Structure 1
């Protein structure tokens, strides 16, 4: 928790720079700075989420936008940081996997066999392997978080929504920036960029980031060790043609993600690591594995993408192509549950679009191709005694191919009334080939894993927008989403799961009042969720214990979003974003061992009907109908306050306070009391000095200043008699300084 000499030196140097650049402190507060004090109106936000530039306030999109300033002040360096900024969004680390949920829809599995229900992309290219997400969060222009199914333009695996990372593009002026941030836990983050216009038509931009901090847990886990670099080239010989090429390389190291083992002994820190003796003392000897604190992550990732735009007269032609490579070795070694992973994947995608943005009819139509193959070995170990709880999933071939054709249009019936429509056809082919090997004392025979399947689905949307006034809009939409089926690492024929689907009904309003000083947006939504995919512990042939992905049932989701921004004065801004969310399984049942699959595994659900024999095992149907979906609090939101203090020298100081809150929510699928997380509220503060010419900023920050433990996922430790729970925990209180120089 203490600052080392390196960080003390950096902080001291930054403070000296502040004294040199701020001769008048906060005197004469009536003098307005041009750096952050504007006309007192709420700024417009332009996004490209629908493959065209549009003002958020003029669109029926359910979207939250995080600007580069938001990302810097909130210290975003990974996907899991986003969950603290957007109500309705939950991001947790399950081992190396980013488990992302929007309004209770997502994916909680921690392996390669399922797909996320929320699709990530960078510059329009899908990031299908969510183990390679975190090092992408630097030199970004913005992040767009779309809530609800995006089946028309984004296609497969967007039942819950989409998250778009938009990197900063080269410009026509030579310049750049360097930012240095240092804080407790020996935190050090250095990032920067250099923009070089090579000629009038060709520009380059290079960017980098180094981000490190010690582990937040007592055994060193939940640390960070990332390095990343990006080179972007822009060719624009005329207004009719442009070519953008982006290349990334990234490395991720350290001990990697970890979790707390609950409940904690009296007096123990919430950030007690799982291999700490305070944690292991509560587990039976059968669950204590050797080398429990050997966790590590060693990931190397690379990508290249290109976007070409050409004016062909009647439309603009756009080609977006990308290649991504992932190579990761990791171990989430911890007492009672160790997982070793080694995997590589190669992904290629191409999208071709034609679009026209006339005043009467705005349309886009296109074709899409995606292919990925994963070669991986996964070794989970819960005990070396119980069969197939010490196993190896050796899967050298896990390919996916997806083809799509889509069209989307907005027709202006009049200057104030518009009709929306879109349709997409998606065809997916998935297959699996590998072996499941047992290394327990019983050493059961190996099992061949194989299968191939095709899935096709039509997704669509329809809606209307009506301008009540120049700054007031009503809208209603119906849209659908689709998440592909696939295969689990168990023996056929029990290894295949079906696609899941979601239909969304939305009615909303977007408004500006008082001369663009007050913004009120409200949205009501109702979702129908079918063929919900989840992973559960089930007995398999020959006594195998495994965790296949199944289709468990259906659910209904409804709620209300409210977003209010008020420019009280030119110097004061208040924003409240809140969400009420109700989720409930109408049907959620699956087969489970009637005799207790492994000793002590408990559930809050109900066993229904008599026991029966399946694959030679006594099983019974477990019914979880009526429970809420995981990670879906009834109430969640953020509240922020910004005040600008103008300085006599023409600079200013910006104070920002940001609160995130959420109600109780289920973090695991067993629905036992320990998995019900308590409500929380955290507070972040940021104080930033900006020089008169905007060339230098210096910030002091505190995040989660109350040191509140916030848990984000949970799994029952199978051999603890139901008394121990593994859970991911967010960062404790962190603080530090950040200095940035533009040149």
Structure 2
């Protein structure tokens, strides 16, 4: 594919469609934000696309002045599009692919991510909630509850966000306590006996103190059926609670305290996709069922997760300098109770063995300081520390061979980083930025492996890795409304251990990224355009795949894949053709390929170790396209506005393994959602919506796994679902 020719076509497409996207407000500047476009508040319509203040570089800036690829979604746009979690963001974000294994998210941006399973594996896309890093997989797919906005930063963020952001970052920002009394209660019901209830109460407790309390309960019976046990699978049962306190002793000092809790129980149910390599079929003649939502399994799958934590943010301004501190503690539990890995009625392969708990204790401290003026020189300094201890207990059962393996251990992580950046703007409109971060990380793994109760392996090892990750940016303001930029940066993802199968530690993943782009505001603010071209070179790219031990058990193995390249172009256009109409389109053309990766395919071991050079990177579609149309009829029903929203998403084929295996691949020609909602023109009153998700009833998967024992199995995505929502704001 000629990328430059495709880029030109994409830019023309965006310009012709004259699109517009809802995005974040500027109310809370405490975390990253941004997207080329926003919708106005319902009580103050605008003829153009609103400007947005963002802090993607940890300071307040107009989005159109930020030299990087960012997208963000306000609370209002999340509601009108029915976006309920990180999993839903991919339908509105070019280049973002979200898959889900055992109920937990795997995030990929521009073809870079990680299959996070074991305690020793980190994601390549960092997730932050109110500035606090989410270190374990349970934090990747939390339901959105009382969220002000969500932001997606694309490409390596090694200088400003540090560890484990070689693919990018997702930032979730909660709503702040309000200065006036307010509240919101909302109920939702729908297909598969879905029941959702969320509520919020917020207001002042004194002259300088405000509080906010919110909760969420979300349940559904699940859309897959196990006819052998007469149970449902892929259900949802989650609960979330947050209490926030904001204290403002003076205009210069702000203190925010958060207490949080989240827990979930689900039954992620695998479906066998091919009988050729599954021992349950080849050796025991298991029953084949063609219906993608029906299985016949002898084990009921189950996964439970729980998070409880607290964080404190302190902001202080001293003249032309700002200071910020974010301190967080968190306890997490993850228990894979059981997974019927062979996905049949044969008692062949089970992961979990009835109880496989993982328990983590997390502490982090981040400091930020910077200039707080409009002068030609701006600077930011950063320092961070993280400590985490994870105790894990992971069982795998092969009943047909009377084998049960058990991995028990403790992984301790200490991560430290310090750095900063400075910018200088010349009178000509040229701005030059230089930054660097030093990261150092240590991991210690103490583990024993046992087969049928007999210890077979033991490990007591510690590794330390470090890296310098610089960033250089040149930005030129052609006019007040058009900006060009070019950047060069490096990223670093720490090494780790195969905690489910004792082996040597794998090495850090490193990336070098070059990017050029532009942002422009046209037609008196009615049209925002942005585009960028990028190329990322990866060394020691970390991959995880499923293999079989000599005892016959399945294990997730992580290794370094030598070298890979991800390059592509992206274009977004946002517009408001009329006061009541918003349109949006985004497209990304991507070529993510292995440059050098010698490995043996566990489903085709005969050729031995073969160089997979030229094979696509995992979850790296050549094309993603998202588009939306939103139209509002002001005061259509009394004082209530009525809004119709349509979202469409197209994704070309992605591969779930490094071996370009067509069975372990899938493409989405089209997935669409529609929603019709009403809301009061002001801030208070009754509101509601009716919606349809996956309107074409497309059958596809949220993940596909391939192993030498179970063959190809996958998690089926939800079919077409319907729902109705009703709420009241006061």
Aligned partner (choices 184, 192, 198) of residue 185 of structure 1: 192
1:311 is the counterpart of 2:317: yes
SS at match of 1:231: strand
Equivalent position to 2:641, from 647, 652, 668: 652
Please list, as runs of the form range in 1=range in 2, the aligned pairs for 1:686-725 lying within 5 A after superposition: 686-695=675-684, 696-719=686-709, 724-725=711-712
Q: Quote the Cα distance in structure 2 between the aligned partners of 1:35 and 1:251.
A: 34
Are the counterparts in 1 of residues 397 and 553 from structure 2 also a CA contact under 8 Å?
no
> 1:20 maps to which residue?
none
Q: Secondary structure at the match of 1:73?
A: helix
Which of the residues 674, 682, 686 maps onto 2:663?
Answer: 674
Within 2, Cα distance between the matches of 1:47 and 1:490? 41
Sort the Cα spacing of 1:731 and 1:315 in 2 relative to 1 into closer, same or farther, 3 A: same
Shift in Å, 1:464: 1.1
Match of 2:326 in 1: 320
CA shift, 1:156, in A, is: 1.0
**Are residue 102 (structure 1) and residue 117 (structure 2) matched?**
no
Partners of 1:641 and 1:113 in 2: CA distance: 43
Partners in 2 of 1:379 and 1:92 — Cα distance? 24
In 1: Cα distance, 2:722 partner to 2:397 partner: 37
Per the alignment, do residues 378 and 545 of structure 1 end up closer, same or farther by CA in structure 2, a change over 3 Å counting?
closer
- Distance (Å, rounded) in 2 between the aligned partners of 1:135 and 1:107: 18
Matching residue of 1:529: 538
For residues 658 and 650 of structure 1, do their structure 2 counterparts lie closer, same or farther at Cα, with a shift above 3 Å needed?
A: same
CA distance in 2, matches of 1:199, 1:384: 66
The residue that corresponds to 1:621 in the other structure is: 609
Alignment check: 8 A CA contact 1:449 1:490 kept: no
User: What per-residue deviation string (whole Å, max 9, x for no partner) do you get for residues 307-346 of structure 1?
Assistant: 1012233511111110111022223422524221201101
Residue 262 of structure 2 is aligned to residue 253 of structure 1: no
Q: Which moved more, 1:637-646 or 1:542-551?
A: 542-551
Q: Distance in 2 between matches of 1:39 and 1:451?
A: 60
Aligned ranges for residues 269-280 of structure 1 at < 5 Å?
280=286
User: Secondary structure of 1:732's match?
Assistant: coil
- Equivalent positions of 1:465-614 (< 5 A) are 465-489=475-499, 494-536=503-545, 546-590=555-599, 601-602=603-604, 607=607
d(CA) in 2 for partners of 1:312 and 1:573? 42
The match for 2:628 is 640
Q: 1:416–1:729: structure 2 CA closer, same or farther, 3 Å change rule?
A: farther
The alpha-carbon deviation at position 264 of structure 1 amounts to 9.7
Q: Does 1:173 align with 2:180?
A: yes
Tell me which residue corresponds to 2:431: 418
**Are 1:352 and 2:367 counterparts?**
yes
Instruction: Output aligned runs, 1:289-308, within 5 Å.
Output: 292-308=298-314
| Between 731-740 and 458-467, the greater mean CA deviation after superposition | 731-740
Post-superposition shift, 1:536? 4.0
* Partner of residue 391 from structure 1, selected from 405, 408, 424: 405
Which range moves more in the overlay, 402-411 or 707-716? 707-716
Check the 8 A contact 2:566/2:593 in 1, yes or no: yes
Native 8 Å contact 2:501 2:556 kept in 1:
no
- Answer whether contact 2:440 2:465 (CA < 8 A) is retained: yes
Q: Deviations over 1:460-501 (max 9, x none)?
A: 110111111111111111111110012113777x42110011
Residues 381 and 550 from structure 1, CA distance in 2 versus in 1: closer, same or farther, beyond 3 angstroms?
A: same
- How many residues end up aligned between the 2 structures? 664
- Spell out, residue by residue over 1:19-67, the C-alpha distance to the aligned partner (whole angstroms, 9 max, x if none): xxxxxxxxxxxxxx98367122101233333222222211112111011
Using a 3 Å threshold, how does the CA distance of structure 1 residues 413 and 437 change in structure 2: closer, same or farther? same
Shift in alpha-carbon separation, 1:254–1:552, aligned structure 2, 3 A: closer
Other-structure match for 1:25: none
Relative to structure 1, is the Cα distance of residues 120 and 666 closer, same or farther in structure 2, using a 3 angstrom cutoff? same
Equivalent residue of 1:506, what SS? strand
The 10-residue stretch of structure 1 (153-162 or 89-98) with the greater mean CA deviation from structure 2: 89-98
Q: Distance in 2 between matches of 1:126 and 1:110?
A: 18
CA distance in 1, matches of 2:330, 2:144: 16
> Is 1:455 aligned to residue 445 of structure 2?
no
Name the SS for the 2:609 alignment partner.
Answer: strand
User: CA 1:34 to 1:127, structure 2 compared with 1: closer, same or farther past 3 Å?
Assistant: closer
Return the alpha-carbon distance in structure 2 between the equivalents of residues 241 and 692 of structure 1: 35
| Structure 1 position 444, deviation (Å) | 6.6
The answer to whether the 8 Å contact 1:602/1:670 transfers is: no
Q: CA deviation at 1:452?
A: 0.3
Q: How far did residue 136 of structure 1 move?
A: 5.2
CA separation of 1:34 and 1:172: change in aligned 2, threshold 3 A: closer
Q: Which moved more, 1:126-135 or 1:369-378?
A: 126-135
Shift of 1:218: 2.2
Structure 1 residues 691 and 264: alpha-carbon distance in aligned structure 2, compared to 1, 3 A threshold: farther
| Structure 1 contact 428–456 (Cα < 8 Å) conserved | yes
1:290 and 1:637 mapped to 2: Cα distance?
Answer: 36
Partner of 2:126: 119
1:214 CA displacement: 1.6
Secondary structure, aligned partner of 2:340: coil
User: In 2 relative to 1, CA 221–540 (structure 1 residues): closer, same or farther, beyond 3 Å?
Assistant: closer
Give yes or no for contact 2:448–2:455 (8 Å, CA) kept in 1. Answer: no
Partners of 2:698 and 2:43 lie apart in 1 by 31
CA spacing shift, 1:197–1:545, aligned 2, 3 Å: closer
Deviation track 1:387-414 (CA, whole Å, cap 9, x = no partner) reads 6xx311111x100001110112222122
Query: How far apart are the structure 2 equivalents of 1:428 and 1:628?
Result: 30
Match of residue 205, structure 1, among 197, 203, 212: 212
CA distance in 1, matches of 2:470, 2:549: 38
1:123-179 CA distances to partner (integer Å, 9 max, x unpaired)? 111010122443452111111110000000111100000111100001211111111
Cα deviation digits, residues 249-300 of structure 1 (max 9, x gap) = 1121232x233321599xxxxxxxx99xxx95149xxxxx997332222322
CA distance in 2, matches of 1:507, 1:574: 25
- Checking the alignment, whether the CA contact within 8 Å between 2:617 and 2:655 is kept in structure 1 is yes
* Alpha-carbon contact 1:526-1:557 (below 8 Å) kept: yes
Query: Shift in Å at residue 538 of structure 1?
Result: 6.0
Q: Is the 8 A contact 1:196 1:205 kept in 2?
A: yes
Aligned-pair RMSD on alpha carbons? Answer: 2.7
Q: Which ranges of structure 1 fall in alignment gaps of 5 or more residues?
A: 1-32, 266-273, 284-288, 608-619
**Deviation (angstroms), 1:547:** 4.0
Which residue matches 2:717? 730
Q: Distance in 1 between matches of 2:324 and 2:569?
A: 36
Q: Secondary structure at 2:724's aligned position in 1?
A: strand
Distance in 1, matches of 2:116 and 2:307, equals: 22
Q: CA deviation at 1:384?
A: 4.3
Displacement of 1:231 in angstroms is: 0.4
SS at 1:654 equivalent: strand
Contact 1:99 1:108 in 2 (8 A): yes
Partner of 1:4: none
Q: Does residue 343 of structure 1 match 2:358?
A: yes
Query: What is the alpha-carbon distance in structure 2 between the residues aligned to residue 244 and residue 47 of structure 1?
Result: 20
Q: Distance in 1 between matches of 2:119 and 2:721?
A: 33
